A and B are shown apart, each in its own frame.
Chain A
Amino acid sequence: MSAENGVSRRAMLVKLGLLLNGIVGTFLAVPIVRYLMSPVIREKKFGYESWLSLGALEQFPAGQTRLATYKNPVVNAWDGETADIACWVRNVDDQTFQVFAINCAHLGCPVRWFPQSSLFMCPCHGGAYYQDGSRASGPPERGLFQYHYKIEGGKLLIKAGEMPTPGRAANLKRGGTTCA
């Protein structure tokens, strides 16, 4: 066997070794990527939202807007108080409700309700919304995010489980319109 042949044989073995590592690497990459993407995969497969109760209807008197809290349906044991989410419930006329996300439609800060002036105001960049959630002024491009709701057995249920953000707006109801 000539020296040249020897070199090329070893070079081929190096290539073979690299190829083997490449194949194993690809096999490893798939589960790693799937592991990293698990929050997205889970959302695609099962969704994060489910119907949950905000409590008895009596807590929400007609014509008023009250703060309600719920435990997020998807939680880990170590979430602590971050699993508790707040929202604003507006009882329009005992038949019709509006449930607004606490997050400003601009950048997600918690909006506060001022019953005296019937406005929601955001402490971050000064967004303001009317009582029906429609945009009144400031940087938000749209009204407050609204949860779907239904009434069952004297309780107010909303479909929730995911932080509302402007990019997800298509999945949520538009602020400013009331529908049963």
Chain B
Amino acid sequence: MRLIQKLGDWFDLRLQLGAPIRETAEHPVPRETASWFYVFGSAALTCFMLQVVTGILLALIYVPSAGEAWSSLQTLNHGITLGWFIRALHGWGSNFMVAIVLIHMVQVFLFGAYKFPRELTWIVGVLLLLVTLGMAFTGQVLRFDQDAYWGLGIGASIASRVPVIGPWAVNLMLGGPIIAGATLSRFFALHVFVVPGLLIAFVGVHLLMVLKLGINEWPMPGRIVRRSTYLQEYHELTHRQGVPFVPNAVWKDILFSGFVLLSIAVCAVYFGPFGPGGQPDPTIIQTAPRPDFFFLWLYALLSFLPPSAETPILLIGPAIGIIVLLALPLVAGEGEKSWKRRPIAVLTILLVAVALGTLTHLAEHTPWSPVMDAWSSQPIPSEYLRGRTALERRGALVFQAKQCHNCHSLDDKGGQRGPALDTVALRLTEDQFIRQVIQGGGNMPAYGKNLSPAETTALVAFLTTLRPAGQPPARNASQAVALGASEVSPRH
């Protein structure tokens, strides 16, 4: 024991770090902040440290070459002892890190922590969110599979829409004319050197400010932040009723970080590593590229925006979002901190959460994408064919052969790009069917050039049978009046 003490003293005389570390550890924090709500920042840092360690371990094997990256990932998964586990830890660590950063952000937003004097802490925090998402995107590229390849294509397509410099931006992003070796090399440099460097720098500044300015006190409804009085009030909170950070508050941070690490490890063991998916061979086009979880909402949004609004929203939307986040503490630096007295803040969080949640949920089902093999792999249910005439059955064949099923579902099978057709005959008359099939419209291609008159007749005959038993098909009331009811009788 005495030897350790002596050794410690020897180092401390030279390093002189003991006193400042002790002072930092034992600095007083407001009593109520020793709370489970205040553990997310340290948990995000823990995740980042895990990412650094597992990232370095992966770099021992990974080859950042377009021709070899995919097979080096296979080697990691299958050829190296526990390589799959390190990949899984890194992948799940990334998901947890993004999630915890988001939770941390929601917490500090609802607790008014961005107000005076912590405006810059929030602004650096926004930058940290951006670089964290940057790590997630560049990391997805390093898992160099089909999704990564076409994901880069989507990134390039978005970059190309920037006015004037768009094509340059694409060349810079790809490192050349196409997605190839130079592209992967630069994303490797970004993911391993540039973005982590920024992340470390921002984390340093962020932490320094948390220590210098003190942790945000627990907001009390009615306790208003004013620039003139806040520092004095905070000083009293910490020095009169405060508790030392170590051990009063830190044990929750440590326990929660341990819990997060355990959860990452459990997910890694249970679910395993992410991919890699198919080889990044651009000539294999039987693929449906999808982004990773945290970009799914964007994937969904891109399929719903009207074509004319897409480019402006895509380019201006993120800029506005970032500016709003950065400007928030400068605009609302004073006032009420408690979420109980900030209904708009709470509603904003709910709105954003519901919007992102809904878009993510939709992106997991991709109702906007045609089911590319529905026409050949999902037969029309037999009850839709029983007791039908030869012509109607011929129409059902046309329905399959012309890939209608890829976009239209029957009995919940098939695509959802267009409306389900189970009861379509209640909505459209025969004439309307013909017009819709021939001319298209309402986001449906026109099939006029592609169906013979006989095929159209058969298809429409089949479509008019698509209605619940016992219910008459839609009919053209005005036509009935004009021609006399007897002449226009429903087919069935």
Contacts and interface: CB of A to CB of B under 8 A. Distances in A.
B23 interface: no
B445 A82 contact: no
Contacts of B286: 112
Contacts of A137: 440, 443-445
Contact of A163 (B166, B172, B174, B403): B174
Contacts of B67: 77-82
A130 B310 CA distance: 22
B150 A139 contact: no
A126 B416 CA distance: 10
A95 interface: no
Interface string B385-421: 0000000000000000111101100000000010000
Given A126-B370, A139-B302, A108 B281 contact: no
Query: Which one of B161, B175, B299, B369 has the highest number of Cβ atoms from chain A below 10 Å of its Cβ?
Result: B369
A90 interface: no
Contacts of A121: 370, 372, 403, 406
A72 B66 CA distance: 14
B180 interface: yes
Given A69-B283, A80-B66, A118 B181 contact: no
Interface stretch (A22-30, A35-43, A150-158): A35-43
Given A119-B403, A123-B289, A128-B370, A40 B160 contact: no
Nearest to A130: B445
B160 A162 contact: no
A126 to B, nearest CB: 4
Nearest to A81: B281
A109 B282 contact: no
Contacts of B302: 106-107, 125, 139
Contacts of B369: 122-126
B150 A82 contact: no
Contact of A167 (B162, B368, B407, B440): B162
A140 B311 CA distance: 11
B15 to A, nearest CB: 30
B376 to A, nearest CB: 9
A77 B369 CA distance: 36
B41 interface: no
B170 A116 contact: no
Query: Which one of A74, A138, A167, A168 has the highest number of Cβ atoms from chain B below 10 Å of its Cβ?
Result: A167
A112 B248 CA distance: 62
B167 A116 contact: no
Contact of B65 (A80, A117, A124): A80
A74 to B, nearest CB: 6
B92 interface: no
B375 interface: yes
A88 B398 CA distance: 25
Contact of B282 (A78, A81, A126): A81
Interface in A76-131: 76-86, 102-103, 106-112, 114, 116-119, 121-126, 128, 130
Contact of B310 (A75, A77, A139): A139
A112 B289 CA distance: 13
B447 interface: yes
Contacts of B167: 43, 165, 167-168, 171
A166 B160 contact: yes
B177 A107 contact: no
A37 B484 CA distance: 76
A40 B283 CA distance: 26
B307 A140 contact: yes
B450 interface: yes
Query: Which one of B149, B167, B172, B450 has the highest number of Cβ atoms from chain A below 10 Å of its Cβ?
Result: B167
B60 interface: no
A67 B183 CA distance: 25
B180 A83 contact: yes
Nearest to B372: A123
Contacts of B176: 39, 42, 48, 74
A80 B68 CA distance: 7
Contact of B287 (A79, A123, A125): A123
A136 interface: yes
A161 interface: yes
A62 B447 CA distance: 21
Given A37-B172, A139-B302, A108 B372 contact: no
Contacts of A124: 150, 154, 288-289, 299, 303, 369
Interface in A57-76: 67, 69, 72, 74-76
Nearest to A68: B283
Contacts of A110: 150, 282, 285, 287
A112 B449 contact: no
A84 B178 CA distance: 10
A82 B417 contact: no
Contacts of A43: 167-168, 171, 177
A63 B372 CA distance: 23
B181 A79 contact: yes
A163 to B, nearest CB: 5
A141 B161 CA distance: 12
B201 interface: no
Query: Which one of B157, B166, B174, B181 has the highest number of Cβ atoms from chain A below 10 Å of its Cβ?
Result: B157
A84 B67 CA distance: 11
Minimum-distance CB pairs A-B, first 10: A80-B67, A167-B160, A167-B166, A108-B153, A136-B445, A165-B160, A48-B177, A125-B303, A162-B177, A123-B288
25 contacts: A43-B177, A48-B177, A79-B180, A83-B180, A85-B283, A103-B153, A107-B153, A108-B156, A110-B150, A112-B285, A114-B403, A116-B403, A117-B402, A117-B445, A119-B450, A121-B370, A123-B369, A125-B299, A125-B368, A137-B444, A161-B177, A163-B174, A165-B166, A165-B170, A168-B170
Given A80-B67, A162-B177, 11 more contacts: A37-B172, A39-B176, A39-B182, A102-B285, A107-B154, A108-B156, A112-B285, A119-B445, A128-B445, A137-B445, A165-B159
